[in-house]
Amino acid sequence: MAATVVTADGPTRKRRSVRPGAMTRGSTLGLGIGMVWFSLLVLIPLGAVVVEASGGGLDTYRSIFTNSQTFNALKLTVGVSLLTTALNMVMGTIIAWVLVRDRFRGKAILDLVIDIPFAMPTIVAGLVLLALYGSQGPLGTEFENTRKAVFLAIAFVTLPFVVRTVQPVLEEMETDVEDAAASLGATRATTFRRIVLPTLVPAIFAGAALSFARGISEYGSLVLLSGNLPNQTEVTSFRVASILEGGNRPAAAALATVMLVVALIAIVALDVTQRRLARRG
């Protein structure tokens, strides 16, 4: 009888499960070479940053918070990154929605435009924004050397992240589910709030993590735009660069370590979200 039914699924889109094989001699060699390169390029240098920072002891870290210029830079960077991330969570989701569910001429171009901030050199991104929003631009806005410019530049470079994490999830989502909610009496708003949004939330946060990490670490696009004014528009990566130029390597490394930790948290958050998404299947 029906209660005994425990057979496998129907043809739901199932990923073919690949059972990874044991290591062979060739693959071990390959992994060895790959790991050596990865270590030389990424792991050891990043480790060196942490080691260098610890050379100055806890005081170096404390100086980040006691040095008002550094602390202001950190505050500005985190603040602006949070703000742009919030903006991206809303706008990115809306953009992804329009790209997946709406149909109009020129949508393909829109799809391409999303990737421009990712592919464009950051220094050029700064120049590009200056061309429109600078004092010589056609809008008459004078954003250069203001915090508005910092916000704008970070909003520009982080634009694609939420869009591109939400988009595939939205594409995968069957419209059947929304139809089901509608036939059960839910209005469009209720369906969005109770059915669509909860499905998208992990992807939105994954995108937000990437966006936040990128915002915290931004450098190139701000070079021409922010004016790099201490305590006003100076962001953390500039602070690292200028401390380094001043010759205080441990202090620069300590601030870099703080940034690294934030990056690591973002990556871990991303990894966890991916696994949660995969499990829900």
74 lies in the site for other proteins, by CB under 8 A: no
Return the SS3 of 130.
helix
CB of 33 to other proteins, least distance (A): 8
Q: How many CB atoms lie within 10 A of CB 94?
A: 13
Restricting to residues 203-262, name those near other proteins by CB under 8 A: 203, 206-207, 210, 213-214, 216-220, 223-224, 236-238, 240-241, 244-245, 249, 252-253, 256, 259-260
Minimum CB distance to other proteins, residue 222 (Å)? 10
**How many angstroms separate the CA atoms of 160 and 125, rounded?**
14
Among 69, 135, 190, 231, binds other proteins (CB under 8 A): 190
CB of 167 to other proteins, least distance (A): 7
Which DSSP symbol is given to 142?
Answer: -
For other proteins, the closer of residues 140 and 183 by Cβ is: 183
Question: Least separation, in Å, of the C-beta of 62 and other proteins?
Answer: 20
CA distance 12 to 6: 16
Q: Which range binds other proteins by CB under 8 A, 56-64, 68-76, 78-86, 187-195?
A: 187-195
DSSP 150-219: HHHHHHHHHHHHHHHHHHHHHHHS-HHHHHHHHHTT--HHHHIIIIIHHHHHHHHHHHHHHHHHHHHH--
Say if CB 143 and CB 157 are below 8 A apart: no
CA distance 125 to 121: 6
Q: With respect to other proteins, which residue has the nearer C-beta, 20 or 58?
A: 20
Total residues contacting other proteins by CB under 8 A comes to 149
Q: Does 108 bind other proteins (CB under 8 A)?
A: yes
By CB under 8 A, residue 82 contacts other proteins: no
Stretch that binds other proteins, among 37-45, 63-71, 78-86, 142-150 (CB under 8 A): 37-45
Q: For the CB of residue 231, give the shortest distance to other proteins in the complex, in Å.
A: 19
Distance CA 81, CA 89 (A): 12
Token pair for residue 154? 């970070």
Q: Would you give the DSSP letter of residue 43? A: I
